[in-house]
Amino acid sequence: MAVMAYLRDGDPEAVTAEFAWEYAILEGPIAADFVRRGQKRIEWEKYDKGVLFGKDCETQWRRRTDGTIHFVVTGEVTPGPAWLGARELRLWRKHGATVVLWGEPDARAGGWYEARIPNALPYDFAAAAGRRVAIRTRSYRAPDGSEITRYVGVEVM
């Protein structure tokens, strides 16, 4: 069974440890990072929002103006009792869309670059000519008929 639920506030380390995730996309006023689990410790204070995802679930989070953090989890998980508003979802597209990310590999420079972005992109994948980094998705239907899509993994294509 798939669900979607939310949490009004919580310690990001504890909340994200509750679910298996493989990748994180983190955004803040002076930093944006793409991180694999275990690659480095996430410095939560640097970011305002993000999404952590893996094959079983996706956890989106956003820091509110009062400093609290709002979380939403979607996927094949059973959230604990602190999670609110749980809605059961029905699998709609197991193999959904593929979202190609910014940037192309530059093997000479050893990284991923986008002409409009002045820094190397933080992808931890070997750069090979003609390859792109993409996110795989899965889609669900809520009881009201709305479609909910979540990230499930990353591939270099």
Q: How far apart are CA 144 and CA 52, in angstroms?
A: 26
pLDDT on residue 127: 67
pLDDT on residue 132: 86
CB contact at 8 A, 45 and 28 = no
pLDDT on residue 131: 82
Q: How far apart are CA 105 and CA 8, in angstroms?
A: 39
pLDDT on residue 109: 67
Q: Which long-range contacts (CB under 8 A, 24 or more apart) does 92-95 make?
A: 92/139, 92/140, 92/141, 92/147, 93/138, 93/139, 94/138, 95/136, 95/138
**Closest C-alpha among 46, 42, 55, 40 to residue 15:** 42
The per-residue pLDDT string of the chain (157 residues; one tens digit each, 9 = 90 and over) reads: 899 999 999 999 999 888 989 999 999 998 888 889 988 889 999 999 999 999 999 999 999 999 999 999 999 999 988 999 999 999 887 777 899 988 888 776 677 888 787 777 877 777 677 788 899 999 999 999 999 999 999 988 8
Q: On the CB side of 48, how many CA atoms lie within 13 Å of its CA?
A: 8
pLDDT on residue 4: 95
pTM for this predicted structure: 0.87
**Closest C-alpha among 76, 55, 65, 62 to residue 15:** 62
pLDDT on residue 108: 67
How distant, in Å, are the alpha carbons of 8, 15, 92, 93, 115 from that of 137?
25, 22, 11, 9, 26
